[in-house]
Amino acid sequence: MGNLAVVRGASALGKIVVWKGKTLAMPGFHNAMNRMTLRQRSVRHGFVRFFKGIGMIRSVLLGLLCAMVPMQVAAQPIVASILSTGDGDTLRINQNGQTVIIRLACIDSPEPDQPGGTAAAQRLAQLLPRGQSIQLIPVDTDTHGRTVGVVFANGRSVNMQMVQEGHAAAYRYHLSSCPNSRNDLLAAESSARAARRGFWAQANPIMPWDWRRR
């Protein structure tokens, strides 16, 4: 095996195998490098787990905050009185001496010039006569600057009652504003439609949002 030499040294690199003056292998060196690579991987994985943990904690905190907001709002309804009603989903209230226009949240009544519109307006006026005390839970402000909210009279949701009686449809484009009553509104609409109550007595009713696009 001429010209083959194995050099032993005190170095941590261990054996060095030389063939014709060229280094062929350094087993100890590779072992050391492997140990360094394992340590680097371990540190890197530790950092990954750490930042994943931070992300998980942040998601949990955001979820808790979102869950707390509607509870806080719902626990503090605004007490006001009715000044007047408009169509089937609009009214004016007296709130601490100020006139505020309210749009009933998550429902859509027929327009005044639409079949069923007059009946819807009359029914809302019956439910909310002038001077009626109400509780309002605001959920949003619309593009017209009106307060969008859920109105309670005599302990009952007027929004839900209008849908149950067939004078309004569940407003699908804005149901996210009413996460706690979304399914109930859809069920109430389905029941009114099946019973052909109010707006649904027509042969081919047109949804209010489609009517406005005509």
The residues annotated as belonging to the active site are: 103, 111, 146
| CA-based nearest residue to 28, from 10, 42, 5, 3 | 10
Distances (CA, A) of 46 to 37, 42, 103, 201, 213: 14, 6, 53, 65, 57
Residues in the chain: 214
Compute the distance between CA of residue 30 and CA of residue 141 in angstroms, rounded to an integer: 68
Q: What is the full DSSP assignment across 166-209?
A: TS-EE-GGGGGG-TTTHHHHHHHHHHHHHHT-GGGGSSSPPPHH
